[in-house]
Amino acid sequence: MQLEQLIKDRRSITNYDTSKEISYKEIQELLDIAVWVPNHKMTQPWRFILIDGETKQKLGEINAKQGAKGAATAEEKEKKAEALKKKITDVPLWIAVVLEENTQMKFREEDYASASMLIQNFSLLAWEKGIGTIWKTNTLLENTDARELLQIRPGERNIGLLQVGFIGKQPKVKPRVPASERTTVLN
């Protein structure tokens, strides 16, 4: 697939074909390619945590416990907790993208930008293989129990949880504003 078409075709996927199993080896190969991004001073501060099986179940329980706190009744709490757990457990595979936070803000921001490009690279590479992704940022990123479960150390930041699975139903294309409409030429 041509890069231009790949960029235009890629969508954030939340509906998966669960009849196909994700291969950790294939995911690792895609991550090994995705790291080829510009990274000032070659800090390469990232690491990846593949979340599946029992760990995914436990993460779902943490999400349920955390999110169901505000329910008015015990019945609502139970229903909300189950839905929040399923939001985690129904995803074929999760990847936590963790950065070692540099003490200097300049490098910290550059590292985050590089990691964002890495996530885009991974998403495009995965799409080419029929694997969909979506980058999630939510309260689980800073939840103490989730950090402990995922072995995220002090001085590290979980910048995102990537949902990963073979593409089921694709969402419709949402139009983009052409960059030409937001470009100023100063000559």
Domain with residue 176: its CATH number is: 3.40.109.10
Mean pLDDT for the stretch of residues 97-110: 95
pLDDT at 77: 86
Q: CA-CA distance, 49 to 151, in Å (whole number)?
A: 9
147 is in an annotated binding site: no
Give a yes or no: residue 172 inside a domain: yes
12 is in an annotated binding site: yes
Domain residues for 34? Answer: 3-52+92-181
| Residue 19 marked ligand-binding | no
Q: Could you tell me which residues are beta bridge partners of residue 20?
A: none
Query: How far apart, in Å, are the Cα atoms of 10 and each of 49, 77, 119?
Result: 23, 36, 13
Residue 20 assigned to a binding site: no
Q: Is 11 known as a binding-site position?
A: yes
Residue 66 lies in a domain: no
Assess if residue 36 is contained within a domain: yes
In a domain, 126, yes or no: yes
- pLDDT, tens digit, for every residue of 65-80? 998 777 788 888 899 9
Residue 106 counted as domain residue? yes
Local confidence band at 1 (pLDDT 50, 70, 90 cut-offs): low
Q: Is residue 137 part of a domain?
A: yes
Would you say 135 is a known binding-site residue? yes
